[in-house]
Structure 1
Amino acid sequence: MVDFGEVLRTIGEFGLFQQLTLIALCFPNFTQPFILASFIFIQSDPERHCNTDWILRADPDLSTGEQLNLTLPREEDGSFSRCRMFVPVDWNISDIREHGLNETTGCRDGWVYTNSLYEATIVTDFDLVCGQTYIVQVIQTVFMAGVLIGSLVFGPFAESFGRKRATQIPSVIMFVSIVTTALSPGVYLYIASQFLVGFGAGGFRVNCIILSTEWIGVSKRSWGACMTQLFSALGQCALAVMIYFVRNWRLAQLITAAPLAVVVVYIWFIPESARWLLSRGRTEEAKKLIIKAATINKRPVPDDLLEKVSVSNTVNKGGLKIIFRSAILTRYFLIVVLAWFSSNLTVYSLYLNIGNLGLNIFLTQLLFGISEIPASLLSMWLLEIFGRKPLFIATLLTGGLSAILILAVPEGLSIVVTCLVVAARFFLLWAVSVTCVLMQELTPTPVRQTATALGTISGRLGGLVAPPLNILSMFSRVIPISVYSSLTLVSGVLGLLLPETKNKELPETVEEAENNRNVSQRNSTKL
């Protein structure tokens, strides 16, 4: 019998077929950073005052200055109140000038925003100010909850219905819900739409990596996760440019939906994972795809190869119990899950705080994107040179150290803080790519998708915890930084307990995963 690794070595481990599939699956990740634009690029406390046009009925020729003097109370520092106004009265203008107004109330007719960095944001469109400012944090949390639940649903879904379906359905959900987001007339529909956007994004991200990886041979397997991260990094750079020129959040969402409309068309032609088909006993379908891949790669397929392709009866009947029945696999799984959680917690905590770093927000966003590009490229190259374990440990420890050093910088040194934040993101996004590769190479085929989905879920859980953790900075900025940097450092140290998986075939069974066999060991066993 011939295993699928041998099939890939025969038809091409990373030929044109795999390259086209990888690019098609990675492209939607270019637009995923744009999804965050509507609740990242905002002014949470914009310059504003209550709309007091009611007084213009008494005298339509009032100057703006006089209108504000007559209708708005002043704060202790002499500035006009941003959240209060005088109660409207049905007096003529001379009585108002003579007697003045004393009774105050909240803004009854909305706000007038001034000196805004953006043309329109969810804050200004939905009036998320004064007593409604907390809704911005709610939106961030709901979005991350959608990402988490999407990963949770579409991970097991892919085990039962295939990797292909688990990428197609989330793509459609993302496209439709982003359009709905852009057209939302009120904040509650916006929140519901953002949940669905996160739901689709979470489901697509984990499955696109698995589907591409299962078609790639040992020599380039890490490219599945790293190319996904690279496209996301390019999207981060493009996002900075787009928001600089497009200051309207609704238009930004529609621009995001445009390339996804193309994805929704071509995603139906993406090939299924032949490895998954074989694991489900669907041998004939797998053979047709193998022949198709070989034809595109211009590689001959020996007749006896297809006859000897092993049909692995590894249908997942035990779920994650397959992992937890093994003490070794349980240890590997929990270490990688913790690393995934802590690195994402740190990355999102830093990113969602982008507006408070002190530098120009567009420049900071561009730096974030630019820093991710070498992280992805280095990951693809160095994973094949130094292996997974050393990079896992090094990236987590360096990223965690960069994050905790922020506490040593006095407040006000925004350039130094931004440099440390960029460095932490650089290494931790690199770490995310490594953890994704490790999870796939440490778990057997029957639960690879579910295990990777749960790893992704742990990362999304980190993103979900990030907004409320950042809120604790109102008590002390030390609290959130200490929490996420410490968890990251602990994860890096635990990496010492992991095995090296460089140049190892993807394990098909628990026994292979426990033994962590390489190619020669597997082939010698089969002989």
Structure 2
Amino acid sequence: MVDFGEILTTVGDFGFFQKLIILALAFQNVLFPIFFCSFLFIQSDPERHCNTDWILQADSNLTTDEQLNLTLPREEDGTFSRCQMFVPVEWDIGAIREYGLNETTGCRDGWVYYDTLYDATIVTDFDLVCDRSNLAEVVKTIFMAGLLAGSFIFGPTAESYGRRRTTQLPVVLLLIFITVAGVSPNVYVYMVSQFIVGAALGGYRINSTVLEWIGVTKRSLASCMSQMFSSVGQCVMAGLVYAIRDWRRVQYVLAGWQAFIFLWTPESARWLLGQGRTEEANKLIRRVAAINKKKIPENLLDVTGEQEVQTHSGNLVAHLSKYMSFICVLVILRFSLNLGYFCLILNVGKLGLNIFLVQFLFGITEAPAHFLCVWVLELIGRKKSLISSLLAGSFFCLLTLAFPQGEFHVIRAVVITALVTTGKLFLNWGGSVCMVYIQELFPTSVRQTAVGFGSIAYRGAGLLSPLLNILAVYHWSIPIIVYSSLTLTSGALSFLLPETRRKELPDSTHESNTCNNCI
């Protein structure tokens, strides 16, 4: 009886078709880090004072210094208040000069910002300062919640509606709601659009790393290519925001790029066979053979359909129950890895060095690591690679505890940045291995659902990471200890996973039953 692995070998398991689909799906991941830019590059506490132009109605010839002296109270250190102003009055300028103003209030007409690093950010456009400063952190949490929602929606949906639809729909949503975010009149419209953008990104990321068309020897390459393009995107983000320091214009660039993304997403023949759509699957297989310039024996596809329908038919929940041990381990691994990863990402501006330089370093050091990851995965296997990356990542993050916070010092900032960058590299490496694992352990009938569970853990970690970082107000070491300890614990759990290097993807629960007894 011919299985899909033999068919794939015949039509070409890494021909022109596979290279094209990897490029088309992975290239979109260049944009993924850039979606974070509107709330990462914000200068959360910019220099400012209340807008007090009301006094110009009394005397339009006042200098800036005179206007501020008459309308703003001073702090204990002698500087003008950044969140308070004197209550406006309808006096003439002479009376204001003679009697002065004493009653204070919050900024009624917004703020005037100066000495800012950017032309415009969500902080300055939506006035997320003083009593509204916490909304900047809320934005991060809402975006992460969107990523989590996308994992819930688009993971299991791929089992019912296929890989193609659940990859294309997120791109359409991104095009629409990136534009909505760019024209948002207030922070609340912006938050809603960011939630939907996050959900679309979560859905795309789940289904854009599908290894069902890739041969055994190239699966690690296909998965790591997705991560490598994301690393390039971090470098692109630093350069893009450095050149365009207006967050709205960056959104328009993202939307325009989205419109020109080459999205050629064929359906998975494995999934079609599992749904009993044999004719469509065979037609697609023949098309792939033609693209790869391969010839198919006439009787190769004759017996495939009946076998696959019998194999994949059944209840999804019943199938999943056989793999819950693997799913639980991988969920813990994904959560631990990405809690640390996002805690580091969201602190990019707090390491003491130039934010553009740090962001560029975050990206440029990851790209070659993913190429190395491909080689290591094939050389020593998935299990050893995962364990070593988890242990190394937690070790370098814990090393930062040896350099307590204090007054800014260049050498300390450089050392901390080097350790954090190295730790983030290994955490990202571990994430790449998990993505390969989660594709290889499960049969076609539940594969994307399992990916969805892993992505839920991934996004749940992202959702909690801003909250974990907030605990630094009690002590700066708390977030580091929490996510490093979880990653270290995950390294021990990795010993429970079986090795899947150079093994064919299982198409049915029967094919992976032997592996299911490993835990």
Aligned to 2:47: 47
Structure 2: distance between partners of 1:461 and 1:73: 44
For the Cα contact (< 8 Å) 2:167–2:265, is it kept in 1?
Answer: no
The alignment's TM-score, normalised by the length of structure 1, stands at 0.95
Aligned to 2:437: 438
Determine which of 292, 295, 299 is the counterpart of 1:297: 292
Aligned to 2:276: 281
SS at match of 1:278: helix
Segment of structure 1 superposing worse, 249-258 or 370-379: 370-379
Within the alignment, does 1:231 sit opposite 2:229 as a pair?
A: yes
Aligned to 1:383: 377
Query: For structure 2, which runs of at least 5 residues remain unmatched after alignment?
Result: none
Aligned counterparts, 1:70-219, within 5 A? 70-210=70-210, 213-219=211-217
Aligned to 2:343: 349
User: How big is each residue's C-alpha offset from its partner over 1:370-396, in whole Å with a ceiling of 9 and x where there is no partner?
Assistant: 011022211222111111000110111
Structure 2: distance between partners of 1:385 and 1:511: 28
Q: Percent identity?
A: 54
Determine which of 305, 312, 315 is the counterpart of 2:308: 312
Q: CA deviation at 1:243?
A: 0.6
Aligned to 1:323: 320
For the Cα contact (< 8 Å) 1:340–1:432, is it kept in 2?
Answer: yes
Runs of 4+ in 1 over 6 A off after TM superposition: none
Q: CA deviation at 1:59?
A: 1.2
For the Cα contact (< 8 Å) 2:270–2:507, is it kept in 1?
Answer: no
Provide the alpha-carbon RMSD of the alignment. Answer: 1.3
For the Cα contact (< 8 Å) 2:55–2:67, is it kept in 1?
Answer: yes
For the Cα contact (< 8 Å) 1:316–1:447, is it kept in 2?
Answer: no
SS at match of 2:112: strand
Compared with structure 1, are the counterparts of its residues 484 and 321 closer, same or farther at alpha carbon in structure 2 (3 Å cutoff)? farther
Compared with structure 1, are the counterparts of its residues 316 and 25 closer, same or farther at alpha carbon in structure 2 (3 Å cutoff)? farther
Q: CA deviation at 1:315?
A: 4.0
Count of residues paired in the alignment: 509
Q: CA deviation at 1:320?
A: 4.2
Structure 1: distance between partners of 2:325 and 2:271: 25
Q: CA deviation at 1:44?
A: 0.5
For the Cα contact (< 8 Å) 1:320–1:450, is it kept in 2?
Answer: no
Q: CA deviation at 1:457?
A: 1.1
For the Cα contact (< 8 Å) 1:504–1:516, is it kept in 2?
Answer: no
Paired AA for residue 86 in structure 1 = F
The alignment's TM-score, normalised by the length of structure 2, stands at 0.96
Query: For structure 1, which runs of at least 5 residues remain unmatched after alignment?
Result: 518-527
Compared with structure 1, are the counterparts of its residues 89 and 33 closer, same or farther at alpha carbon in structure 2 (3 Å cutoff)? same
SS at match of 2:511: helix
Aligned counterparts, 1:392-403, within 5 A? 392-403=386-397
Structure 2: distance between partners of 1:274 and 1:353: 42
For the Cα contact (< 8 Å) 1:12–1:294, is it kept in 2?
Answer: yes
Structure 2: distance between partners of 1:40 and 1:218: 39
Segment of structure 1 superposing worse, 246-255 or 441-450: 441-450
For the Cα contact (< 8 Å) 1:375–1:429, is it kept in 2?
Answer: no
For the Cα contact (< 8 Å) 1:34–1:239, is it kept in 2?
Answer: yes
Aligned counterparts, 1:455-466, within 5 A? 455-466=454-465
For the Cα contact (< 8 Å) 1:320–1:451, is it kept in 2?
Answer: no
Structure 2: distance between partners of 1:163 and 1:223: 20
SS at match of 2:49: strand
Aligned to 1:421: 420
Aligned to 1:361: 355
Paired AA for residue 512 in structure 1 = E
Structure 2: distance between partners of 1:341 and 1:317: 30
Structure 2: distance between partners of 1:321 and 1:438: 21
Paired AA for residue 441 in structure 2 = L
User: How big is each residue's C-alpha offset from its partner over 1:195-220, in whole Å with a ceiling of 9 and x where there is no partner?
Assistant: 0100100000010112xx11001010
For the Cα contact (< 8 Å) 2:83–2:107, is it kept in 1?
Answer: yes
Paired AA for residue 388 in structure 2 = A
SS at match of 1:105: strand
SS at match of 2:46: coil
Compared with structure 1, are the counterparts of its residues 502 and 204 closer, same or farther at alpha carbon in structure 2 (3 Å cutoff)? same
Paired AA for residue 508 in structure 1 = D
Compared with structure 1, are the counterparts of its residues 208 and 113 closer, same or farther at alpha carbon in structure 2 (3 Å cutoff)? same
Paired AA for residue 115 in structure 2 = N
Structure 2: distance between partners of 1:323 and 1:272: 23
Structure 2: distance between partners of 1:417 and 1:514: 46
User: How big is each residue's C-alpha offset from its partner over 1:46-85, in whole Å with a ceiling of 9 and x where there is no partner?
Assistant: 0000001111111111111111111111111111100000
Q: CA deviation at 1:317?
A: 4.1
For the Cα contact (< 8 Å) 2:177–2:196, is it kept in 1?
Answer: yes
Aligned counterparts, 1:457-496, within 5 A? 457-496=456-495
SS at match of 1:304: coil
Structure 2: distance between partners of 1:427 and 1:511: 35
Q: CA deviation at 1:436?
A: 0.8
Structure 2: distance between partners of 1:195 and 1:323: 29
Structure 2: distance between partners of 1:373 and 1:278: 36
SS at match of 1:148: helix
Paired AA for residue 338 in structure 2 = N
Within the alignment, does 1:447 sit opposite 2:446 as a pair?
A: yes
Structure 2: distance between partners of 1:16 and 1:320: 37
Within the alignment, does 1:259 sit opposite 2:253 as a pair?
A: no
Paired AA for residue 262 in structure 1 = F
